[in-house]
Structure 1
Amino acid sequence: MTATEMLLFASLVFIPMATCSGPMVRVPRARALIYRAVTGGNPSTAIGVLDLTERNGVVTIIGSVDGLPPGQHGFHVHEFGDVGNGCLAAGNHFNPLRSDHGSPVNSPSRRHVGDLGNIMTPVNDSTLIDIQDSLIAFTGTRGIVGRAFAIHANVDDLGTGGNEGSRTTGNAGSRLACGIIGYVMPGND
């Protein structure tokens, strides 16, 4: 090994080790493959991927979904990790605190845990998702791992519609797509 190669090796191996301020901490990760809803059946072709991390009490959801119609779509966590029957098998919005439907900026007493607001699909482009939420969690009463995301046909009125549909679903309409949230095996990034 030449002196230059040794210097390069040292800079790649030893300097990063020397600059670490403590033990490396693994951030819990989860992922959901998003599938188009198939009425009466189970989906088979993924149209998107959402990656989730949880750090300091905040879950971050980042990813993209293809093939949705342009416009706003309600985006929620539903109670069951089942994507069958047009995503209806995912059940209702995840609501362990038994609150009315609302906006993700509302207090926990004024929103479902699974209320994540709206996502925007531009004309002829992918839907990009980048959400941070401090009410959902990976585990515990508010845990979403093992449940399902659902993307709805309509804009979510965030509980402001003044009717029963608004208080339960935000009048977000039918389910266009869904995906089960599961842990990512460490090292499978």
Structure 2
Amino acid sequence: MTSTKVEFLVKMTCNSCVKDIENSLKDVKGIKNVDINLANGSVVIESILPILDLQKKLEATGKQVAIKGYDGTAAVSILEVGEKNVQGVVRFVQASPDTCIIDGTIDGLKPGKHNISIHECGDISKGCTSVGKVFNPENNTKKRIYGNIGIITAERNGHAEFRLEDNIVKLSECIGRSFVINMQDQKGTPVACGIIARSAGLFQNPKTVCACDGTTIWDEVSKPNSKSSL
């Protein structure tokens, strides 16, 4: 499997905090390398694990954690349109020219199988009805329709986590379009959708305070359903 690097901002105050983080990540299968910078409050993890799993490992130390950046071209889709109970975050990282990692966590789904896809338009002004058709460029010569990413399964509690390696999707062609999820047996009716927006690369996001209102990233993380903590 292809590994990716993710930079987390972790609220650390001393070397004891560093030790706590080292212990929480020690001997975890799927983690290839960890780089902790106490001065910057930065933890960079190279792994093949879902990003949420890594975040939970860090949060298990009792410290506040926020995702700060990714290695390579990266994007995120916040599922904020559709059925009101469905919420989630889907992250995209172009890990290599031929591999796009698609990593998601979605809650509020009906148990069972769901299709996930990339659609032509980043227009959610009319909900999920204005995102257009499944994205399929004219020059696509693959057997699969370009934007048909695959099928995921929601558990009995409506929760779904997934990490897919896709060798057809090129993230540069998908930024500004929409990510859509629909239940497999509902004839393609969207359950939720969100615009695919570019996100910060590794070490490209120095901001910890919002210039407009002075809100710190830790204030943001502590909000219910914060995008930094999903």
With normalisation by structure 1, the TM-score equals: 0.63
Gaps of 5+ in 1: 6-11, 14-24, 100-107, 156-170
Cα distance, 1:79 vs structure 2:
0.3
Moved over 6 A (4+): none
* Residues 75 and 117 in structure 1, CA contact (< 8 A), matched pair in contact too: yes
Secondary structure of 2:125 counterpart? coil
Mark the structure with the bigger radius of gyration. 1
* Residues 81 and 192 in structure 2, CA contact (< 8 A), matched pair in contact too: yes
* Residues 86 and 192 in structure 2, CA contact (< 8 A), matched pair in contact too: no
More strand by share: 2
Aligned to 1:72: 113
Are 1:149 and 2:189 counterparts?
no
Cα distance, 1:83 vs structure 2:
2.1
CA separation of 1:83 and 1:46: change in aligned 2, threshold 3 A: farther
| Equivalent-residue separation in structure 2 for 1:172 and 1:71 (angstroms) | 14
Aligned to 1:27: 72
| Equivalent-residue separation in structure 2 for 1:119 and 1:70 (angstroms) | 10
* Residues 97 and 109 in structure 1, CA contact (< 8 A), matched pair in contact too: no
2:93 is aligned, of 53, 61, 69, to: 53
Gaps of 5+ in 2: 1-14, 16-35, 38-69, 208-227
| Equivalent-residue separation in structure 1 for 2:199 and 2:116 (angstroms) | 22
Cα distance, 1:36 vs structure 2:
4.1
Aligned to 1:182: 197
Aligned to 2:167: 134
1:37 is aligned, of 71, 78, 82, to: 82
Are 1:84 and 2:125 counterparts?
yes
Cα distance, 1:80 vs structure 2:
0.4
Deviations, residues 7-47 of structure 1 (Å, cap 9, x unaligned): xxxxx88xxxxxxxxxxx94221111012416xxxx8x871
Deviations, residues 22-80 of structure 1 (Å, cap 9, x unaligned): xxx94221111012416xxxx8x871111111021211011201101011011100000
Where in structure 2 are the equivalents of 1:88-103 lying within 5 Å? 88-97=129-138
CA separation of 1:137 and 1:119: change in aligned 2, threshold 3 A: same
* Residues 31 and 52 in structure 1, CA contact (< 8 A), matched pair in contact too: yes
Secondary structure of 1:86 counterpart? strand
* Residues 71 and 93 in structure 2, CA contact (< 8 A), matched pair in contact too: no
Q: CA RMSD in A?
A: 2.8
Deviations, residues 89-116 of structure 1 (Å, cap 9, x unaligned): 10000011376xxxxxxxx432211011
| Equivalent-residue separation in structure 2 for 1:75 and 1:26 (angstroms) | 24
